[in-house]
Amino acid sequence: MKIRYPVRVRAFLVGMMVSLLPLTASAGPSDDTLVVAFSKALTTVDRLYSIQREGLILSRLTDDGLFFVDPDTLEFEPLAAASYTWATDTRLDITLRDNVRFHDGSRLSADDVVYTFRWVLNKDSDTSRGAVIRGWLDSVEKLGPLRVRFNLKMPYPMALRDMAISIPLRKSGTYDDPRGGDQPLNGIGPYRVKQFDVGRRIVLERFEDYYPDSPKAGARIRNMVFRVIPDEGTQQAELLSGGIDLMMDVPPDVADNVSALPGVERLEGNDIRIGYLTLDAAGYADPDSPMTHLKVRQAINHAINREAISRYLVRGSARAIPYACHPRQFGCQADGPRYPYDPEKARRLLAEAGYPEGFSLKLWAYREKIIAEAIVSDLKAVGLDVDLRYVKLNVFSKMRNDHRMGAFFASYGSGGTADASASTGVHFTANSNRNYSGDESLSKTVLAAERTIDPDERRRLYREALNRIAEQAYWVPLFSYSQNYLLTPALSLPVSEDGVPRLWQAAWRQ
C-alpha cells in the first residue's frame, strides 16, 4: 500500500465563496448557524490523527464509525454497521448498511472498511490509535459487497468501543491521493467540513444525503462554526455579545458568575472523568516510604473529606466515589471497604503504623490547584507535613512515568468510555506507568477481565479487582466530575451521560 501522510497543519478550502466568509460568523438561529468556542486549536480534522477532546467532539459530527456510543445508555450500538455477530470469541462478522454515502456522494462498501482498518494496522500510517488497534486486531477481510470479517488476536471486549470512538471510516484510497492532507475530509457523518482554517475556525454544513435510518439522523441546525478562542474571558465576552452560542468545559465558578447575567443559560451534566490520589504502595520512589504501610494508606483515605470537596469545589453533578472507577462504567460494582471521612481514625491508624507525629510527604499535582490545596489541608490536619508540588503536565507525566512520586493527585476521563477497563484497567495492568501498586495478582485479575467477552465473568473479575484495590488502599478514589456549559437561551442541547456533547442533537428553541 502506498503511504502518503496527512498534512496536519495545512488548511483546505472548498469552493470559492467559502474564502469570502467573515472570520467571526454570525451566531444564532437567524441564519441557522451554531457558533461554538474551542479552547484549543486542532491541527487536523481527521480523527485518525487526533487524540484531542475537541477532535472527538468534531468527529461525531463529520464522521461515523461502524458503531457509536448511545448518548443515553452509553452502550455500543451499530451505526454504519447494520448488524454484527460474534462467530467466535475472536471472529467478528459485520454487515454494513446499504445506504451510507460519503460526503463526495459515493456509497460506503466493504472495500472502504477493509481499506480503513488495514491502513490503521499498517505501522507506517502512524495513526493516533494504531498501536492500540494492532494490539488486538490481527486482520480484516471482505466477505461480500457489504460484509466484513475481523479476526482478533485474542478475545477483546472493547473491540466495539475502539471501532466506535477511534476509527472513523475512510473511502478506499483516501491516503493514497497525491493531494495528501490538502484534500477535504470525506467522511460519512451528518455534517461535512466546508472550511478549515488551522488555529482559527472550522466551518461545517449539514450533509443532506446522510442516511436516514442512522441513530444520528435528523440534525436540526444547518451550519456549525467552531472558533478557536483560547482565552476564557474572551469566550465569555463573545457569548454575552452574541459572537458565540456555546461555551464548553466551563469551570464551576465561572459558570456561577456568568450564568447570572441576562442572555445566558447554564447546563450541568455528568462526566465519566474521575479524580483520585495514587499512593506509592510498591515503594518505587522510595523503598522505605511510609506509603508501603497499609495502615498509612488507609489513614490517608480516611483523612480526605471527599464529600465536601465534591460538593463545594467540584460542584454540579459531581459525587464522591468509593472505588477505582466511575459508577456509570460497566463493571464498577464492588463491596470492598469504604473509607468515610474520619480524621480521628486517620490519626489512630498513623500511630498504629508507627507515625504518631506524622511524616513529610510530597504530593504532586498538575490541575485544579484549589482541589489539590484542599487535599493538602486535610492531610495536614491529621499531622502530615505535606509539600504540594504543583507542576506542568509534561513534568508531571515524566515524574509519574518514571515512578518517582510518593503520592499524586490526578484525574482520568477514560476516553468517555463507560467500562471499567478504561479506568481500572488502565491504571492497574502490569505494564502501566500509572500502576504504583506492585501487585502482580491484581494485574493478572485486571488483564483477565480484558481477555473475555463474557459480561458476567467480566463483572466478577472487576469486582475482585476493585475489592482488592480498596482493601489495600492503593488509591484514594475522590469524586466524579461535572460538566458545565454556558449557552444562548435560543439553543436547546441535550446533556449526555459521558460528558461529550453530541452537537448533532442541538436545535433552536421555537
DSSP classification of residue 363: E
Under the banding of pLDDT at 50, 70 and 90, the label for residue 114 is: very high
Domains of the chain by residue range: 12-251+488-508, 271-482
Q: How far apart are CA 126 and CA 234, in angstroms?
A: 36
Can you give the three-state secondary structure of 12-50, one letter per residue? EECCCHHHHCCCCCCCEHHHCEEEEEECCCCCCCCHHHC
Q: What is the pLDDT of residues 185-208, one digit of tens each?
A: 999 999 999 999 998 999 999 999
pLDDT of residue 179: 58
Under the banding of pLDDT at 50, 70 and 90, the label for residue 4 is: very low
Under the banding of pLDDT at 50, 70 and 90, the label for residue 252 is: confident
What is the average per-residue pLDDT within 394-409?
Answer: 96
pLDDT exceeds cutoff 70 at 182: no
* Helix (DSSP H) and strand (DSSP E) numbers for the chain: 14, 19
Q: What is the pLDDT of residues 417-448, one digit of tens each?
A: 889 999 998 999 998 999 999 999 999 999 99
Under the banding of pLDDT at 50, 70 and 90, the label for residue 26 is: low
Helix (H) or strand (E) holding 229: none
DSSP classification of residue 485: E
166 Cβ neighbours under 8 A, 6+ residues apart: 47, 65, 128, 129, 132, 133
| DSSP of 203-220 | EEEE-TTS-TTSTT----
pLDDT of residue 180: 53
pTM of the predicted model, to two decimals?
Answer: 0.85
Q: Are 12-251+488-508 and 271-482 in the same CATH fold?
A: no
pLDDT of residue 330: 94
- Report residue 299 as a C-alpha cell: 489513614
Beta strands in 114-182 (DSSP E): 137-144, 147-152
CB neighbours of residue 317 within 10 Å: 18
Q: How far apart are CA 408 and CA 366, in angstroms?
A: 9
Check: CB of residue 480 under 8 Å from CB of residue 321.
yes
pLDDT of residue 15: 33
Q: Angle CA(409)–CA(412)–CA(415) in degrees, nearest 5? A: 170
pLDDT over 70 percentage in the chain: 93
pLDDT of residue 178: 64
The neighbouring-strand residues paired with 167 are none
What is the average per-residue pLDDT within 346-359?
Answer: 97
Q: Torsion angle, CA of 324/330/331/335, rounded to 10 degrees?
A: 70
Beta strands in 324-368 (DSSP E): 360-365
CATH superfamily ID and name for 271-482:
Dipeptide-binding Protein; Domain 3 (3.10.105.10)
Q: How far apart are CA 75 and CA 93, in angstroms?
A: 19
17 Cβ neighbours under 8 A, 6+ residues apart: none
Helix (H) or strand (E) holding 279: strand 265-279
Q: What is the pLDDT of residues 168-181, one digit of tens each?
A: 999 999 998 765 55
12-251+488-508 maps to which CATH number?
3.40.190.10
pLDDT of residue 1: 33
pLDDT of residue 89: 94
Helices 232-241 and 252-259, packing angle to 10 deg: 20
- Report residue 120 as a C-alpha cell: 490503521
Check: CB of residue 245 under 8 Å from CB of residue 27.
yes
Q: What is the pLDDT of residues 43-84, one digit of tens each?
A: 999 999 998 889 999 999 999 999 999 988 888 999 999 999
pLDDT over 90 percentage in the chain: 83
Q: How far apart are CA 60 and CA 47, in angstroms?
A: 9
Averaged pLDDT score across all residues of the chain: 91
Q: Which of 130, 50, 126, 73 is nearest to 498 (CA)?
A: 73
For the ranges 67-71, 145-149, 156-160, the one whose mean pLDDT is highest: 145-149
pLDDT exceeds cutoff 70 at 482: yes
Under the banding of pLDDT at 50, 70 and 90, the label for residue 224 is: very high
